[in-house]
Amino acid sequence: MADIKKVEPKKSNMVSRTTAPMAAEKDLTEGQRQAVREMLESVYATNKWHIVRVNFLRGIAFGLGTFIGGTIVIAIVIWILSRTVDLFPWARDFTQQLIDSLKK
């Protein structure tokens, strides 16, 4: 009989996503944790208006992006309905009313 070698699976150096935060916490000493806390508190205490301004601009950009994206999606749906209205006679009246109201 041939000699069969047992092959062990390779161990990965990557940390899974579920254990990554826990592994990082174990590596920090209490002094390092305190230093991180102090740094974050100093950033938030000295730059309150910067944080407010960034969050305000982020909200404006999010709202504008949502509006533009919704407009594009609705325009595509109306365009598809106008092209396929002959396939669905029951949707003809609805599509015509929709197009008429958009033209006003």
Q: How far apart are CA 82 and CA 76, in angstroms?
A: 10
Query: DSSP state, 85?
Result: T
pTM score, whole prediction: 0.46
End-to-end, the C-alpha distance of the chain in Å comes to 88
Q: How far apart are CA 39 and CA 31, in angstroms?
A: 12
Residues 8-33 have pLDDT tens digits of: 655 555 555 555 555 555 688 888 88
Q: How far apart are CA 21 and CA 24, in angstroms?
A: 5
Q: Which residue has the higher pLDDT, 68 or 85?
A: 68
Residues 28-59 have pLDDT tens digits of: 888 888 888 888 888 777 778 888 888 999 99
Contact 92, 85 (CB under 8 A): yes
Give me the amino acid identity at 40: L
